[in-house]
Amino acid sequence: MGVTLRSNSNLVFQCAFHVVWCPKYRRRVIGGRMEERLKQLVREVGEVAVGTPLVAVVPVPRRETHRRAAPRETVGPLHVAEAGWVRFRWSRPLSGTVRSATVSRDGQHWYVSFLVDDGHATPGQHPAPNSAVGVDRGVAVAVACSDGTMRDRQFRTPGETRRHRVLQQKLARQARGSTNRKKTLVALRQVKRRERDRRHDFVSWTANRLATRHALVAVEDLRTRNMTRSAKGTIDAPGSKVKQKAGLNRSVLDKGWHKLQLALENVARYRGTRIVKVPAAYTSQRCSVCRRVDPESRESQARFRCTACGHAENADVNAAKNVLRGCRKIS
Q: Which residues are catalytic?
A: 136, 220, 316
Q: Are 219 and 137 spatial neighbours (Cβ–Cβ below 8 Å)?
A: yes
C-alpha to C-alpha distance for 221 and 45, rounded to whole angstroms: 83
Among 164, 167, 166, 147, CA closest to 155? 164
Half-sphere exposure at residue 47, Cβ-oriented, CA atoms within 13 angstroms: 1
Cα torsion at 285, 289, 290, 294 (round to 10°)? Answer: -10
Cα torsion at 223, 228, 232, 236 (round to 10°)? Answer: -10
Q: Are 293 and 284 spatial neighbours (Cβ–Cβ below 8 Å)?
A: no
DSSP H helical ranges for 89-178:
158-173
Q: Residue type for 110, please? A: W
